[in-house]
Amino acid sequence: MPTSKKAATKKVAKKSVAKKAPAKKVTKKATAKKAVKKAPAKKITKQATKKAAKKAPAKKSAKKTTAKTNTKKPLVLAPNDKSFWVTNGAVLNSLVALRDALDEMEKEVYSYHVTKEHNDFASWVDAVLCDSQCALELKRAQSLVKAKSVVTRRLKVYSV
Protein backbone atom coordinates (compact mmCIF):
# COMPACT_ATOMS: atom_id res chain seq x y z
CA MET A 1 0.00 0.00 0.00
CA PRO A 2 2.69 2.50 0.63
CA THR A 3 3.68 2.11 -2.98
CA SER A 4 0.27 3.06 -4.19
CA LYS A 5 0.16 6.16 -1.95
CA LYS A 6 3.47 7.31 -3.34
CA ALA A 7 2.26 6.79 -6.87
CA ALA A 8 -0.97 8.61 -6.08
CA THR A 9 0.98 11.49 -4.49
CA LYS A 10 3.24 11.72 -7.54
CA LYS A 11 0.23 11.83 -9.85
CA VAL A 12 -1.35 14.57 -7.78
CA ALA A 13 1.92 16.48 -7.67
CA LYS A 14 2.31 16.13 -11.44
CA LYS A 15 -1.23 17.35 -12.03
CA SER A 16 -0.79 20.34 -9.76
CA VAL A 17 2.54 21.22 -11.36
CA ALA A 18 1.02 20.85 -14.79
CA LYS A 19 -1.88 23.09 -13.82
CA LYS A 20 0.31 25.75 -12.25
CA ALA A 21 2.77 26.09 -15.13
CA PRO A 22 0.18 26.94 -17.79
CA ALA A 23 -1.56 29.29 -15.39
CA LYS A 24 1.66 31.35 -15.13
CA LYS A 25 2.02 31.42 -18.92
CA VAL A 26 -1.58 32.56 -19.33
CA THR A 27 -0.95 35.32 -16.83
CA LYS A 28 2.08 36.50 -18.80
CA LYS A 29 0.11 36.40 -22.05
CA ALA A 30 -2.74 38.30 -20.48
CA THR A 31 -0.31 40.93 -19.22
CA ALA A 32 1.24 41.18 -22.68
CA LYS A 33 -2.21 41.60 -24.25
CA LYS A 34 -3.04 44.36 -21.80
CA ALA A 35 0.20 46.14 -22.71
CA VAL A 36 -0.68 45.87 -26.40
CA LYS A 37 -4.14 47.29 -25.75
CA LYS A 38 -2.70 50.22 -23.83
CA ALA A 39 -0.17 51.14 -26.55
CA PRO A 40 -2.74 52.30 -29.15
CA ALA A 41 -4.50 54.35 -26.50
CA LYS A 42 -1.28 56.26 -25.93
CA LYS A 43 -0.91 56.84 -29.68
CA ILE A 44 -4.40 58.27 -29.86
CA THR A 45 -3.59 60.57 -26.99
CA LYS A 46 -0.42 61.73 -28.76
CA GLN A 47 -2.35 62.32 -31.97
CA ALA A 48 -4.99 64.29 -30.12
CA THR A 49 -2.25 66.35 -28.51
CA LYS A 50 -0.62 66.99 -31.89
CA LYS A 51 -3.96 68.09 -33.37
CA ALA A 52 -4.56 70.42 -30.46
CA ALA A 53 -1.06 71.82 -30.85
CA LYS A 54 -1.65 72.41 -34.57
CA LYS A 55 -4.91 74.24 -33.90
CA ALA A 56 -3.36 76.58 -31.32
CA PRO A 57 -1.19 78.56 -33.82
CA ALA A 58 -4.26 79.13 -35.98
CA LYS A 59 -5.85 81.03 -33.11
CA LYS A 60 -2.70 83.11 -32.69
CA SER A 61 -2.67 83.98 -36.40
CA ALA A 62 -6.29 85.07 -36.10
CA LYS A 63 -5.19 87.52 -33.41
CA LYS A 64 -2.47 88.81 -35.72
CA THR A 65 -5.03 89.30 -38.48
CA THR A 66 -7.19 91.28 -36.08
CA ALA A 67 -4.24 93.51 -35.29
CA LYS A 68 -3.68 94.06 -39.02
CA THR A 69 -7.31 94.95 -39.66
CA ASN A 70 -7.10 97.74 -37.10
CA THR A 71 -4.67 99.53 -39.42
CA LYS A 72 -6.70 99.59 -42.62
CA LYS A 73 -5.48 101.24 -45.78
CA PRO A 74 -7.40 104.13 -47.33
CA LEU A 75 -9.44 103.24 -50.40
CA VAL A 76 -7.80 104.34 -53.64
CA LEU A 77 -10.00 106.30 -56.06
CA ALA A 78 -8.96 106.48 -59.69
CA PRO A 79 -9.02 109.87 -61.42
CA ASN A 80 -11.62 110.32 -64.16
CA ASP A 81 -9.12 109.82 -67.00
CA LYS A 82 -7.97 106.47 -65.52
CA SER A 83 -11.40 105.07 -64.63
CA PHE A 84 -12.34 101.68 -66.03
CA TRP A 85 -15.00 101.74 -68.75
CA VAL A 86 -16.97 98.49 -68.89
CA THR A 87 -18.59 97.46 -72.19
CA ASN A 88 -22.05 97.65 -70.60
CA GLY A 89 -21.50 101.38 -69.92
CA ALA A 90 -20.49 101.28 -66.25
CA VAL A 91 -17.58 103.47 -65.18
CA LEU A 92 -15.46 102.17 -62.30
CA ASN A 93 -13.17 104.29 -60.14
CA SER A 94 -12.50 102.02 -57.09
CA LEU A 95 -12.64 98.48 -55.77
CA VAL A 96 -16.06 99.21 -54.28
CA ALA A 97 -17.34 100.19 -57.73
CA LEU A 98 -15.74 97.04 -59.20
CA ARG A 99 -17.44 94.85 -56.58
CA ASP A 100 -20.82 96.45 -57.26
CA ALA A 101 -20.34 96.12 -61.02
CA LEU A 102 -19.36 92.46 -60.72
CA ASP A 103 -22.53 91.83 -58.70
CA GLU A 104 -24.70 93.07 -61.57
CA MET A 105 -22.47 92.04 -64.48
CA GLU A 106 -23.56 89.46 -67.04
CA LYS A 107 -21.25 86.60 -67.99
CA GLU A 108 -20.88 87.85 -71.55
CA VAL A 109 -19.60 91.24 -70.38
CA TYR A 110 -17.19 89.58 -67.95
CA SER A 111 -15.89 87.18 -70.61
CA TYR A 112 -15.26 90.16 -72.93
CA HIS A 113 -12.86 91.70 -70.38
CA VAL A 114 -11.38 88.43 -69.05
CA THR A 115 -9.93 85.73 -71.28
CA LYS A 116 -7.06 83.27 -71.00
CA GLU A 117 -4.75 85.77 -72.68
CA HIS A 118 -5.65 88.92 -70.73
CA ASN A 119 -7.57 90.16 -67.71
CA ASP A 120 -8.57 93.81 -68.03
CA PHE A 121 -9.80 94.05 -64.44
CA ALA A 122 -6.58 92.67 -62.97
CA SER A 123 -4.45 94.97 -65.15
CA TRP A 124 -6.47 98.04 -64.13
CA VAL A 125 -6.41 97.15 -60.42
CA ASP A 126 -2.64 96.68 -60.55
CA ALA A 127 -1.77 99.74 -62.66
CA VAL A 128 -4.30 102.32 -61.45
CA LEU A 129 -5.42 101.23 -57.97
CA CYS A 130 -1.93 99.95 -57.08
CA ASP A 131 -3.17 96.75 -55.44
CA SER A 132 -0.92 94.02 -56.81
CA GLN A 133 -2.25 91.39 -54.39
CA CYS A 134 -5.83 91.87 -55.56
CA ALA A 135 -4.66 91.91 -59.19
CA LEU A 136 -2.83 88.62 -58.75
CA GLU A 137 -5.89 86.99 -57.20
CA LEU A 138 -8.12 88.38 -59.97
CA LYS A 139 -5.82 86.82 -62.59
CA ARG A 140 -6.23 83.46 -60.87
CA ALA A 141 -10.03 83.77 -60.69
CA GLN A 142 -11.55 81.47 -63.28
CA SER A 143 -15.10 82.83 -63.20
CA LEU A 144 -17.26 85.85 -62.46
CA VAL A 145 -18.31 84.42 -59.09
CA LYS A 146 -14.70 83.87 -58.00
CA ALA A 147 -13.74 87.39 -59.12
CA LYS A 148 -16.58 88.80 -56.97
CA SER A 149 -15.33 86.90 -53.93
CA VAL A 150 -11.74 88.06 -54.52
CA VAL A 151 -12.73 91.72 -54.63
CA THR A 152 -15.06 91.37 -51.63
CA ARG A 153 -12.34 89.66 -49.57
CA ARG A 154 -9.75 92.23 -50.57
CA LEU A 155 -11.99 95.14 -49.59
CA LYS A 156 -11.65 94.06 -45.96
CA VAL A 157 -8.12 95.46 -46.03
CA TYR A 158 -9.43 98.94 -46.85
CA SER A 159 -11.33 101.43 -44.74
CA VAL A 160 -14.61 101.61 -46.60
Q: Under DSSP, is residue 158 helix (H, G, I), strand (E, B) or coil? A: strand
Per-residue pLDDT reduced to its tens digit, 22-67: 555 555 555 555 545 555 555 555 555 555 555 555 554 444 444 4
Residuewise pLDDT in 10s, the chain (160 residues): 555 555 555 555 555 444 555 555 555 555 555 545 555 555 555 555 555 555 555 554 444 444 444 688 899 999 999 999 999 999 999 999 999 999 999 999 999 999 999 999 999 999 999 999 999 999 999 899 999 999 999 999 998 7
Give the DSSP per-residue string, 76-136.
Answer: P---GGG-EE-TTS-EE-SHHHHHHHHHH--HHHHHHHB-SS-BHHHHHHHHTS--HHHHH
